[in-house]
Amino acid sequence: MDAQGRGRADDIDPADQWVLNPHTGNYELRLDNSGGASGGSAAGSPGTSRTRPGGRRATPRTAETGAGARRTAGPRREVPSQRGRHPGKDSRTPETAAGRRKRRPQKSGRKKALLWTGGVMAFVVVAGSAGAYALYQHFNGNLSTVDVGDAGNKDVLSDGPLNILIIGTDKRTGKGNEGYGDKGSEGHADTNILFHVSEDRSNATALSIPRDLITDIPDCTTKQSDGSEKVVPGTANIRFNVSLGQSGRDPGCTMRTVKEITGLQVDHFMMVDFNAVKELSTAVGGVKVCLTKAVKDKDSHLDLPAGEHRIMGEDALAFVRTRHSFGNESDLDRIKVQQQFIGSMIRQMKSDDTLSSPPKLYKLADAATKALTVDSGIGSVKKLTSLAQELGKVNTENITFVTVPVVDNPAERVAATVVLDKGRSEPLFAMMREDTSLTEVKEKERTAKSKQQAVLTGPRAQPGEVRVDVLNGGNVPGGAQQTVSWLQNDKGVPKSTNKANAPTKSPTTTLAYAPNQADQARALADMMGLPATALKQSGTDAEELQPMVLTLGADFKGAGVPITGPKTAPKDIQKASADKAECAK
């Protein structure tokens, strides 16, 4: 079904068929050109029947069966009439015009922060509209999906934080992009942002991962076109950007690599290419950027004078690709520019100018769904809409952009790659794992107290009553025995036992306990500095002498070293707010 062609009459654009209902404050799709209470038909004279989606004929509406019937049916009100596109014309009746003036003010756009891709889908859900189904099918058909197996299967409405990996690939697909060089490339993970949304949806951290970071890419299982699975062997000591596209790796491999680096479970991915930047920036009417100096870059073809600009299309792509015109001409400085661009796009997308314009929203949703490739876990408009609604709860003041702390690779005489600065990166990762905000979030903005944090509230058992088996799933040799010795000798926990190595490596330390062991779990958490997220309660009570199970993870640094991360971000890390405009230097 062609959603764009349905109901088109005279010079009315399909995007203009979204009409504001002043009684509800919502936009609703109107496929006819009739007045709000006229009782006229959609296509012309009264009595003309219409075809609904699915081929069913609608009953012709007359004055008696239409507007009159609604007046006797109760308080339900008619949607305002469709506006035409002729300058100077206004089809509103005095009654509907007055209704508009009396409409209560909408909530501030500041409360409607939208992720620069998926967030535009929220407006598609329109209760009771047959036309919305046509749009749903249209946008659904735009989406491309990849099955990444268990790497992306979390329900976006489930409890807990959300971690979404945004991947910008340098694949040269799309009209006009073959001229950028590297034609025919499978593409790499060129721009990578892990978007961490807090459990209470009060804040978010956007973590940029440099493409030239030297890391280990783990084995990953990929789905083949015939339904079979293929394991792509991992590679040690290699650039992060080859985690995608190379050797048959799909976005699920990039997700697993991010988990290997940060210890954070990545729930979903969204991938875009060159065309996405051009189309999305155009769909929002341009993105505001600022330059402290004139730029004329022969590689990216960006040619702009100093000052503020509104860029779209090719200029927008050139801006985010420019590397040799800012800072010390490194990829790290390009990341700063990209963060400024994305922050500006977020502000533009949640602005009243965009949110109140049905044509802009339609074009934005159409461009976004055409540009997106997502995992099958969010591979429908319905699921993307649910995700958008979750993201929309975050105030842009509380979205912080940060880059993984790195240093030049000491193995290279002329540094072309970087490695983790573990002294600064690990505390940052720990803050994200524990869902600690990088911004000062006002208490009144928090929607609810963390359910996870509540597990640490309650009585504590005495050390001599704590029973625990310790397994080593981390990177410290002999960690289990080291911990047991420390617990017995320093903390007075004689009922602790070394159970040697865990069956598999674990990115984080966990404590599994039964409901009737909660007091023991709290006591051990206090001793070891375990965060609330480390405590995993089972559904049934334990037997009298049954021990808890402590599995040390990659975050375990040694007995007596608290696993809980810092409450404030490490000093001297690159940070930026999505709510503040900055000029590229």
Distance CA 142, CA 420 (A): 38
Q: Quick one: tokens of 372?
A: 């997106």
What is the greatest pairwise CA distance in the chain?
91
pLDDT at 574: 79
Three-class SS state of 166: strand
Contact, 174 vs 277, CB < 8 A?
no
Distance CA 370, CA 142 (A): 5
Contact, 345 vs 115, CB < 8 A?
no
pLDDT at 451: 55
Residue indicated by tokens 């807990």: 160
Q: Which CATH architecture is the domain 453-552 placed in?
A: 2-Layer Sandwich (3.30)
Measure CA of the first residue to CA of the last residue in the chain; give whole Å.
48
Which DSSP category does 360 fall into? H
Three-class SS state of 50: coil
DSSP string, 432-498: HHTT--SS---GGG--S--TTGGGG-S----GGG--EEEEE-SSSTTHHHHHHHHHHHHS--TTEEE
pLDDT at 62: 40
* β-strand pairing of 268-272 with 373-375: antiparallel
- The residues that bridge with 559 in the sheet, in sequence order, are none
- The residues that bridge with 215 in the sheet, in sequence order, are 238
- The residues that bridge with 288 in the sheet, in sequence order, are 310
Domains 130-438 and 453-552 share a fold: no
pTM score above 0.85: no
pLDDT at 27: 53
Contact, 6 vs 29, CB < 8 A?
no
Residue indicated by tokens 């206004």: 90
| Cβ-based neighbour number of residue 211 at 10 Å | 23
Distance CA 491, CA 524 (A): 10
Cα dihedral 415/336/213/216 (nearest 10): 180
Distance CA 404, CA 424 (A): 9
* β-strand pairing of 229-232 with 220-223: antiparallel
Closest CA to 208 of 167, 172, 249, 170: 167
SS (H, E, C) 232-263: ECCEEEEEHHHHCCHHHCCHHHHHHHHHHHHC
**In this structure, is the dihedral angle defined by the CA atoms of residues 362, 366, 372 and 378, taken in order, positive or negative?**
positive
Contact, 287 vs 341, CB < 8 A?
yes
Low-confidence stretches of the chain (pLDDT beneath 70): 1-136, 171-186, 352, 355, 442-453
Contact, 349 vs 284, CB < 8 A?
yes
pLDDT in tens, 391-419: 888 888 889 999 999 999 999 988 789 99
**Which residues of 301-446 form beta strands (DSSP E)?**
303-304, 307-311, 373-375, 399-403, 406-408, 418-420
Q: How would you label 305-317 residue by residue, b for 16+ Cβ within 10 Å and e otherwise?
A: eeeeeebbebbbb
Closest CA to 21 of 134, 129, 153: 129
| Cβ-based neighbour number of residue 445 at 10 Å | 16
Domain boundaries, the chain: 1-105, 130-438, 453-552
Residue indicated by tokens 């330059």: 291
| Domain at 130-438: CATH code | 3.40.630.190
Distance CA 350, CA 15 (A): 18
pLDDT at 297: 86
pLDDT at 321: 85
